[in-house]
Amino acid sequence: MPKLVDLNTFANGGLAEKFDDELKKVLENIADPNTDPTKVRSVTVTVSLKGDKNRELAATTIRATSKLAPYEDVETQIVLDRDSKGRVIGKELKSGSPGQTYFDEEGVYEDTGEKIVDFRKQKTNGGSN
């Protein structure tokens, strides 16, 4: 039986090009460190054909789609409080424990990440080392 179409040249190479584009998306998704590399991804190629009334031609549409793995969840904590009018407010907890300050090479921070002491300002304002 003779081959009906060559998938590499079908639609002037459009089918192969669309497949390659979706495959590239899948490979980039696997390589993305924000996704689970073991999740299954897929590429689907759909060839749709619709004949004319005389049954002489078939209008053909090619669609390629991919199903990617979602980004992995990122978790954090929000410290809840109330403002002076009693409305609930929240700020992201940066210290790991409510009410606990923390520091790095630049300064000392409240639990929500607001700087209390700036080590760099102290050095530039005549502080000695």
In a domain, 129, yes or no: no
Task: Answer with the residue of higher pLDDT: 78 or 58.
Answer: 58
How far apart, in Å, are the Cα atoms of 10 and each of 7, 13, 47, 65? 5, 5, 11, 17
- Token pair listed for 97: 């424990």
**Average of pLDDT values for 45-74?**
96
**Average of pLDDT values for 82-102?**
82
- Assess whether 24 and 47 both reside in one domain: yes
In a domain, 9, yes or no: no
In a domain, 6, yes or no: no
In a domain, 82, yes or no: yes
Return the SS3 of 51. Answer: strand
- pLDDT of the residue at 90: 86
pLDDT tens column, 105-123: 778 888 778 888 887 776 6
In a domain, 18, yes or no: yes
- Assess whether 53 and 91 both reside in one domain: no
- Assess whether 91 and 58 both reside in one domain: no
Residue 126 confidence (pLDDT) above 60: no
Give the predicted TM-score (pTM) of the model: 0.64
- pLDDT of the residue at 62: 97
Structural domain of 18: 14-67
In a domain, 73, yes or no: no
Residue 94 confidence (pLDDT) above 60: yes
- Assess whether 82 and 55 both reside in one domain: no
- The region of weakest confidence among 32-36, 38-42, 94-98 is 94-98
- Assess whether 97 and 61 both reside in one domain: no
Please say which residue of 45, 67, 89 terminates a domain.
67
Q: Give how many domains the chain has, as a whole number.
A: 2
How far apart, in Å, are the Cα atoms of 59 and each of 48, 50, 56, 71, 118? 8, 5, 10, 38, 69
- pLDDT of the residue at 120: 79
- Assess whether 61 and 35 both reside in one domain: yes
User: Per residue in 54-77, is it b (16+ CB within 10 Å) or e — as a string?
Assistant: eeeeeeeebebebebbeeeeeeee
First to last CA, the chain: 87
In a domain, 5, yes or no: no
